[in-house]
Chains A and B, each alone.
Chain A
């Protein structure tokens, strides 16, 4: 297979595989900047994937499915918020509980709603979007600009997120809450409310990642289909140093590993799949080892805040 075609294939695959991770990574960025470790991203992704398929099945409209996924993600995130922010439950434990709950509830749902073990029926999925000039560009058009709507939404969201995080009042408040909650509290910023907001946003983003998987890359739900992408998203955020663009690029990098594996297989090259698949995890550990010291995590990350 010639190089250019391979490159196009690779880029396209990277975007398709990396998009769900990127959504999750963005979600992690928002949550962690405000000081909340959202380990439950994985579970919210799965819930989102399921909800998207369910709504698309019921309405026949995949974009309604996307909306349904976002609503679900926000609700689950709210639950996580109540547990960890209001009740002071340990964020990591509550998050893991959500992950396991997602596995169980979605499996249960598959059984109860469709009476099917493991896979849902095929539902209307997101079609690739045709952009006027861009999609018709020779190589790039196929690879980048013929993705489904969610991938394009991703690009937009990355830009919006960067602006919000760095230049908006809300972004400033989030930074204050994540770095020095006492300082934020002393000027009247509600630490709890800001963290809730960040958590809800991260839930919405994570569920977008889930539905990008179930309705974007595929057209059905498979039990456990997120397979750790939520955690990879968490890792991507760390690798990307807690910035929106960094998280996005890191997620794409991690997606590249998976895409390489697929593309190489298609191109007929024999490489044991596991070598490429462990790349994201190894890279994250490298990042953890190197990132600390240059760019730290938000100082108050993971600490519940008790108002006097």
Chain B
């Protein structure tokens, strides 16, 4: 006799397979297949795939400043990937990371021009505030799911769209800076995230090195956000595997019934995990404002939140994988822009490759050999039945 469910636990949409498989091989294979498909498309369109891909790589890492640009673009992806990944671990689909990112960004962009405290106070404060904004934005879908079992995919997606319009309104009206641009006031220099080059030269100088020995222009526009993002990755890893709340998150995602039996309060865990996820996404927004754009506009995000989903999946929902996957996507993104300019290849091919990567990861393709084995076994079984 089946045990009846004690609470209204809505189905976690197929996350168990996602979580219980650790297949870096599938990710790599998916990437290769996607690149190959992209190559085919390029050929059809009359372009040279090899030239295209090498232009792409060159654009991504061909020089110091380009590499810096790539890594700089990886930062928001690392963070949104982590945000989505943490939620995945609890069995939750935080599709609304984009909205949480936007809210984090707008709050930071609104607050930053008004603060005049020393940098070691403002920067952490701004970043924390951005995270809080994201957390609050994720609270609503979390609450709906915990109390009513409402599907968080739809609710968080709706919140994303609301965030988009709300921030657009804010940027165009109350927070608008003077001038023509629909954007907020610039963040004053004192409150910006310093470039890595500046950080390194500052450190070098205090260590007594001369100006020539310090690579002041190291890695172009790359800012302090990268170490912060990596720290967050480390922190998430530590949280999930070495702490009590992390254990609770993991067992919740693997088996909610057993988690209840283990004493986890499911409703509370859902809300808190969504808020944590939102906080990381909000952090991503804040860091983008403080380190790259220095303001917020209506064209602020090229979909970091959505790409974060892809990053989380490609990275096998582990912090290490997510960092790697984020860098990969950043390579595609950054290199693609350069590729378009230099080799005149439509940058849309990058989007296509990204989509295919997600698709192939989702389908969990393995090496053809194992498929042949499975199909062979099925054929043999069917033949045996026919022979009867």
- Closest chain A residue, CB of each to CB of B303: A100
Q: Top 8 closest A-B pairs, CB basis?
A: A104-B351, A101-B355, A107-B348, A104-B352, A97-B359, A100-B355, A97-B358, A111-B346
Q: Is the CB of A100 within 8 A of B354?
A: yes
A58 within 8 A of B: no
Q: Is the CB of A101 within 8 A of B14?
A: no
Chain A residues lying within 8 Å of B17, measured Cβ to Cβ, are: 88, 90
Write the A82-106 contact mask toward B (1 if CB under 8 angstroms, else 0): 0100011111111011111101110
Interchain nearest-CB distance for B2 vs A (Å):
12
Besides A88-B364, A97-B310, A103-B355, 16 other A-B contacts (C-beta < 8 A)? A87-B364, A92-B13, A96-B306, A98-B355, A100-B355, A101-B351, A101-B359, A104-B355, A235-B158, A275-B169, A278-B161, A278-B165, A285-B140, A285-B158, A288-B154, A303-B13
Within 8 A of B (CB), among A136-188: none
Number of interface residues of B (CB under 8 A): 50
Chain A residues lying within 8 Å of B45, measured Cβ to Cβ, are: 108, 112
Interchain nearest-CB distance for A90 vs B (Å):
5
A274 within 8 A of B: yes
Q: Is the CB of B161 within 8 A of A92?
A: no
Given contacts A101-B359, A112-B45, contact A107 B148 (CB under 8 A): no
CA distance A274 to B169 in the complex (A): 6
Q: Is the CB of B352 within 8 A of A105?
A: yes
Chain A residues lying within 8 Å of B165, measured Cβ to Cβ, are: 274, 277-278
CA distance A64 to B306 in the complex (A): 34
Interchain nearest-CB distance for B115 vs A (Å):
27
Q: Which of A93, A231, A303 contacts B358 (CB 8 A)?
A: A93
Within 8 A of A (CB), among B17-73: 17-18, 41, 45-46
* Residue ranges of A at the interface with B (Cβ–Cβ < 8 Å): 37, 39, 83, 87-94, 96-101, 103-105, 107-108, 111-112, 228, 231, 234-235, 238, 272, 274-275, 277-278, 281-282, 284-285, 288-289, 292-293, 297, 301-304
Q: Is the CB of A83 within 8 A of B13?
A: no
CA distance A93 to B306 in the complex (A): 11
Chain A residues lying within 8 Å of B352, measured Cβ to Cβ, are: 101, 104-105, 108
Q: Is the CB of A274 within 8 A of B144?
A: no
B309 within 8 A of A: yes
Chain A residues lying within 8 Å of B41, measured Cβ to Cβ, are: 108
Chain B residues lying within 8 Å of A289, measured Cβ to Cβ, are: 144, 148, 150
Q: Is the CB of A292 within 8 A of B150?
A: yes
Chain B residues lying within 8 Å of A288, measured Cβ to Cβ, are: 144, 148, 150-151, 154-155, 158
- Closest chain B residue, CB of each to CB of A101: B355
CA distance A278 to B163 in the complex (A): 9
Interchain nearest-CB distance for A272 vs B (Å):
6
Q: Which of A92, A103, A112 contacts B153 (CB 8 A)?
A: A92
CA distance A103 to B351 in the complex (A): 7
CA distance A253 to B46 in the complex (A): 46
CA distance A99 to B352 in the complex (A): 10
CA distance A281 to B85 in the complex (A): 25
CA distance A170 to B318 in the complex (A): 43
Chain B residues lying within 8 Å of A278, measured Cβ to Cβ, are: 161-162, 165-166
Chain A residues lying within 8 Å of B306, measured Cβ to Cβ, are: 96, 100
Q: Is the CB of A293 within 8 A of B154?
A: no
Q: Is the CB of B161 within 8 A of A94?
A: no
Q: Is the CB of B153 within 8 A of A98?
A: no
B159 within 8 A of A: yes
Q: Which of B154, B346, B361, B364 contacts A284 (CB 8 A)?
A: B154
B11 within 8 A of A: yes
Q: Which of A37, A107, A228, A272 contacts B161 (CB 8 A)?
A: A228
Q: Is the CB of B309 within 8 A of A96?
A: yes
Chain A residues lying within 8 Å of B324, measured Cβ to Cβ, are: none
CA distance A90 to B154 in the complex (A): 16
Q: Is the CB of A92 within 8 A of B358?
A: no
